[in-house]
Amino acid sequence: MDELKQLHGLMVTTSLIRDIIPLSRLIDFCTNSGETDYAESIFFQIDQPSVYIWNSMIRGYSNNNNPNGALSMYREMQQKGYFPDHFTFPFVLKACSMIFDLNYGKCVHDRIMKTGFELDLYASTTLIHMYVSCADMEAGVKVFEKIPKWNVVAWTTLISGYVNNNRASEAISAFKDMELWNVEPNEVTMVHLLVACARIRDVETGIWVHDRVRQIGFDPARLNSNIVLAAAILEMYAKCGSLKVARDFFDKMPQRNVVVWNSMIGAYTQYGRAKEALSLFVGMQSAGFNPDEATFLSVLGACAQLGALSLGQGIHGYVAKTNISQNIAIGTSLMDMYAKTGDTQSALRIFGDLQKKDVMAWTSMIIGLAVHGHGDEALVLFKEMQADGRIIPDHITYIGVLCACSHAGLVNEGLEQFNSMKNSYGLLPRIEHYGCLVDLLSRAGHLREAERLVEGMPFQPNIAIWGALLNGCEIHENVDLANRVGNHITELTPQGGGVYVLLSNIYAKAGRWQEVEMARELMRLRRIGKAHGCSSIEVKMLSS
């Protein structure tokens, strides 16, 4: 820029500043370098800017994260009587996409049709991108269908739109149509397709896409060319639960970045393999990579799974030294880790220090208090959330609230909260909420009401519902109801031996040994094993 300013001064002194071609190059350099303020200072001194210069300014704003500036410049361009061309519209539509302004985008679309550029491939492709970015997939598909000749960019834009609008299956179908039209995909296409497979946990299609990547000739496991594609392949296997394949791929990668490490660590945490996640976290640091927000979220989740409070405190200290310590997601994850490891006081302190609290933060704290027997405190916190009025509780919040009522034995409060879901917030109770209410009624001894609730549910009761009712039968020694519940349980697909052992114990307490033997025999016939209980402790090694 220092050299450019010298050239600019020379242009002014030699009157070359009036020559439109070097003037255009001058503005181009400024906008491409991110110096839009300097470009503005030049632009506003031009008496009659060419359409090319207007386009350069619009592009500069759009490319430098100032979409409103781009749209303002587009409006001014037309107000002063200049006609946009096929280079103008893509930059304006990109600005609309950045701020998700569908109405402005539709106005630009109308202008494109009036000026006859609707069949221009460049303009049409950016028009598709605008619509899919603003979540109007139907309009995007209509524009796509009118393009006279589809190219890889148009197909990829459509596929990415389906993926980003949570329509992954349609993205995969679109890719298959693309193959039928003999359009060769590029690496960007394959990345979006792999993301689609990961979203819907479709490992079979993912394997097929990976094979297709090899056929095209850019397999990142062998080539050092595209780490983004490699990360997408790894993420697909990891999200689909194929952890061994993902780890083998990870180990063979010629180069890795933070995203790749995070994918592998996150997958281990997601599938309950916290020790491997933490081991990989240590390996990541040894390899010289600095953890980011996604890393800490996964590692804190792993600490919560293991109940590793000391390690979690160490991570907390590490996070406190970084600039992400005030991040709401990190704060919520720290709070969740402390709550799950039993340190509710530390969780409350972090919760109180959060500058912004979203529904996830409130919910995590309510559930953390509820599961550790602090039901009354959880309900007080929920009422504070309601009184605040800025955050609306969701379905998961109410699971925590009903769990709190169950642990505190507050039957009337639980029934009121169950009814308020729909009456106050329009939330229809799900099977998990019925399960919490059945558990509350059963623990409190209201077994007949619990049974009627199960019979009147709008869902088919699952093993968790019957298990909650059976637990109440054991507490209150109701063998007759336990017998009826047992008949329902035997009709369901086995999901572990917990309920069968519980049923056997109820019969044993009542001295009905024949039924005990029948329950045990049923476990043997169905090959249902009894899960062994286990506990874990953290050992702090003290130096002498």
Q: What are phi and psi of 107, to 5 degrees?
A: -65, -40
Q: DSSP states of 169-218 as a string?
A: HHHHHHHHHHHHTTPPP-HHHHHHHHHHHHHTT-HHHHHHHHHHHHHHT-
Using CA of residue 64, residue 68, residue 74, residue 76, what is the dihedral sign? negative
Yes or no: say if 522 and 500 are a contact pair by the CB < 8 Å rule. yes
Q: Which residues contact 305 (CB under 8 A, 6 or more apart)?
A: 269, 272, 274, 340
Distances (CA, A) of 326 to 331, 335, 358, 365: 7, 12, 13, 17
Q: pTM here?
A: 0.77
Could you give the CA distance from residue 13 to residue 207 in angstroms, rounded to a whole number? 65
Please report the pLDDT score of residue 541 as a whole number: 41
- Residue 88 forms part of a structural domain: yes
- Residue 69 forms part of a structural domain: yes
Q: Which residues contact 148 (CB under 8 A, 6 or more apart)?
A: 119
Please report the pLDDT score of residue 223 as a whole number: 47
- Residue 106 forms part of a structural domain: yes
- Residue 513 forms part of a structural domain: no
- Residue 52 forms part of a structural domain: yes
- Residue 373 forms part of a structural domain: no
- The pLDDT profile of the chain, 544 residues, written as one tens digit per residue, is 888 888 888 888 887 777 778 888 888 888 888 888 888 888 888 888 889 999 999 999 999 889 999 999 999 999 999 999 888 999 999 999 999 999 999 999 999 998 888 888 889 999 999 999 999 999 999 999 998 888 999 999 999 999 999 999 999 999 999 999 999 999 999 999 999 999 999 999 999 999 999 888 766 555 445 788 989 999 999 999 999 999 999 998 888 899 999 999 999 999 999 999 999 999 999 999 999 999 999 999 999 998 888 889 998 998 888 877 678 889 899 999 998 888 999 999 999 888 888 899 999 999 999 988 898 999 999 999 999 888 899 999 999 999 999 888 899 999 999 999 989 999 999 999 999 999 999 989 899 999 999 989 998 888 888 888 888 888 888 888 888 887 787 776 655 567 767 777 777 777 777 777 776 776 676 666 666 666 666 665 433 3
Distances (CA, A) of 396 to 207, 218, 233, 318: 34, 43, 32, 30
**Cα atoms in the Cβ-side hemisphere of radius 13 Å centred on 395:** 8
Please report the pLDDT score of residue 502 as a whole number: 73
Give how many domains the chain has, as a whole number. Answer: 1
Containing structural domain, residue 42: 1-149
Single out the residue of 389, 390, 338, 392 nearest to residue 364, CA to CA.
338
Could you give the CA distance from residue 399 to residue 388 in angstroms, rounded to a whole number? 20
Name the DSSP letter for residue 254. S
Could you give the CA distance from residue 160 to residue 142 in angstroms, rounded to a whole number? 16
Could you give the CA distance from residue 495 to residue 487 in angstroms, rounded to a whole number? 15
* CATH code for position 113: 1.25.40.10
Q: Which residue has the tokens 């049409």?
A: 124
Please report the pLDDT score of residue 526 as a whole number: 65
- Residue 12 forms part of a structural domain: yes
User: Three-state DSSP class for 522?
Assistant: helix
- Residue 470 forms part of a structural domain: no
Please report the pLDDT score of residue 542 as a whole number: 39
